[in-house]
Amino acid sequence: MFIRRTATRSKLNGESYVTYRLVSSERHGKSVRQVARLNLGRDFGVAPKHWPALCARLEQILSAQTSLSAVPLGPRLERLAQRYAARLVVRAPTPAAVASATAPPVFAEVALDSLEQVRPRSIGVEYVAWHAMKQLGLEAILTECGFNGKLKNAALANVIGRLAQPGSELATWRWLTMTSGLGELMEVDFEAMSMMALYRASDRLIKYRATIESKLFENVRDLFGLETTVTLYDLTNTYFEGTAAANPQAARGRSKEKRSDCPLVTLGLVLDGSGFIRRSQTFAGNAAEVKTLEAMLAGLGAPRGCLIVMDAGIASEANLAWLVACGYRYLVVSRKRTRHFEAAPAIAIETASHETLQIQKVTSADGSEVQLHCYSTGRQAKESAIARRLCARLETGLKAMAEGLDKPRGEKRISKLQERIGRLKERSRVGQHYLIALTPDESGEQAASLTWVKQPIEGTLLTHPGVYCLRTNETHWDEARLWHTYIMLTDLEAVIRSLKSELGLRPVYHHKEARTDGHLFISVLAYQVVQTLRRPLKEKGIHESWSSLREILSVQRRVTASVRRRDGRTLHVRQSTVAEPELQAIYQALGLGPKPGETKKLVV
């Protein structure tokens, strides 16, 4: 083999440029021909003085002589030799015996002790993800948005890498170049792709976010025949590693992950009732939930009369009035703190966990709104335990202060004791249910005794544990249908958990706003792919989380088996390992064959 420098011309714009090719001499009858084996590209950066050593090492690898006086090369050239050898095997033709089920088997006499298995690469997650990508038509959408070939491949790799190896773009680049067989499925040499290509693809994705989300949801709706009658809305936030000083949206706020020590950024999600994301948007880390609804739903194109489901944090009176004015219906948790429930007029329904839930329906005087007062025995047990713990914490603190009055050095000043009682009530969250009295001594400045009486306030956690209230302007549905629709919001919470724990949403390592937005959007696209896979799997009785599915899928590998034949030539066969029973069940449910990729054979 040798490397040849060739002048050529671009077919697109007629531009002249120089490219490099790996060439070998092959005998055909009485003549010898030079055959281009591999295009090394115009950016081939190896100095000509190293070409003979690189080619010699490449022939050693392909001849399975890696252990016998290997040609000495530096780390960079050794990686190139290994990569080019792997590409030659991948580009080898498919054997006829594999291509045709009726072809006779091919036998060869080989030396068993020469068998080597090299270049294992993961293929299971990549296989199902690439299948879902093609179902969603994401590649065509990116083409419509003006992505060229390299950017499109980098964008698709970003998304598949996020669900296979959650993390930053750096983690995706390492996965692509070191452990993944995705390039074999997509016929792309990702080892030649720079990490900056992934960042540029991320920037381009966020530039066309609205278009991509809109077209992607249209394809999802056509693929699964969805009816867009219910829309779920919620927000979550995630934290930065570092100060993120260059990002104006990075701000301190209340972290849902208890990471208020870090700057935060907020992600808003609008989902269809089927669990697919319709729209996403990034907000500042200290954004008020009630102020984000109009910005998210405006221009969404949801049909008039669509039912919006959201939690109490967003359901302000102003937001509900805006929804009504825009022709939307709403179903929300009431923000009113007073709890109310009457068992007599309530009806009973059974939940998915086989728990009996009682619902009391109350219509407003003008008939424009319905309130559902729901009572759950399971929720009652949980909230009663919480109330007992909070009351015990408050009473323990009060008892310690009372005992301190009898100690010589104990705090007795009324002003200081009142401050301590105030802090204690604030931390306990049940202080309003206690009447606490300090009896002064003769001086009037110190306390002689501390007493308290527990008096639960009606309509609160202590008197009505297990009760919560929903409100809606959908007055024609019955109690069961309204409640089951609201429970869809728990599916949205599962989406957010999946984004954070399974799809690399947290933490954020980027410092620029556009890169942060791109990181979050890639996780959103990865979730769409996961949802596309899990929907048919659920129909076949496979309900595992994506984490569990990923573990099952990750076992399968693409491996090259190299063995020396009797005639001295070396046979290289690259194929996927046999799928195990659990993996076969997943492939069968998705309508896929059990062996990703073709079997390739190369004789050198």
Tell whether the model's pLDDT for residue 99 goes beyond 60: no
Instruction: Report how far residue 599's alpha carbon sits from residue 604's, in angstroms, rounded to the nearest whole number.
Output: 17
Q: Which pLDDT tens digit goes with each residue over 166-201?
A: 888 889 999 999 999 999 999 999 998 999 999 999
Does one domain contain both 344 and 455? yes
Instruction: Report how far residue 150's alpha carbon sits from residue 340's, in angstroms, rounded to the nearest whole number.
Output: 61
Give yes or no for a contact between 230 and 309, defined as CB atoms under 8 angstroms apart: yes
Is 66 part of any domain? yes
Determine phi and psi for 403, rounding to 5 degrees: -70, -30
Is 525 part of any domain? no
Q: Out of 48, 70, 91, pick the residue that ends a domain.
A: 91
Tell whether the model's pLDDT for residue 98 goes beyond 60: no
Query: Any long-range contacts for 362-369 (C-beta under 8 Å, 24+ apart)?
Result: 363/475, 367/475, 368/473, 368/475, 369/471, 369/472, 369/473, 369/475
Report the chain's mean pLDDT, rounded to a whole number.
88
Q: Report the domain count for the chain.
A: 3
Is 502 part of any domain? no
Q: Out of 463, 488, 506, pick the residue that ends a domain.
A: 463
Q: C-alpha distances in angstroms, 87 versus 181, 358, 572, 602?
A: 12, 65, 12, 11
Is 21 part of any domain? yes
The pLDDT assigned to 300 comes to: 59
Is 243 part of any domain? no
Is 53 part of any domain? yes
Confidence of residue 102 (pLDDT cuts 50, 70, 90): low
Q: Which pLDDT tens digit goes with each residue over 344-359?
A: 889 999 887 788 899 9
| Mean pLDDT score, 482-507 | 83
The residue with tokens 């004791």 is 417
Does one domain contain both 12 and 117? no
Does one domain contain both 17 and 103? no
Q: Out of 69, 91, 113, pick the residue that ends a domain.
A: 91
Beta strand pairing call for 230-239 and 307-310: parallel
Is 588 part of any domain? yes
The pLDDT assigned to 301 comes to: 60
Tell whether the model's pLDDT for residue 64 goes beyond 80: no
Give yes or no for a contact between 238 and 267, defined as CB atoms under 8 angstroms apart: yes
Instruction: Supply the pTM of this predicted model.
Output: 0.79
Domain of 577 in residue numbering reads as 95-122+556-604
Tell me what percent of the residues of the chain surpass a pLDDT of 90: 48
What sign results for the dihedral spanned by CA atoms 90, 96, 101, 105? negative
The pLDDT assigned to 34 comes to: 86
The pLDDT assigned to 299 comes to: 60
Does one domain contain both 350 and 376? yes
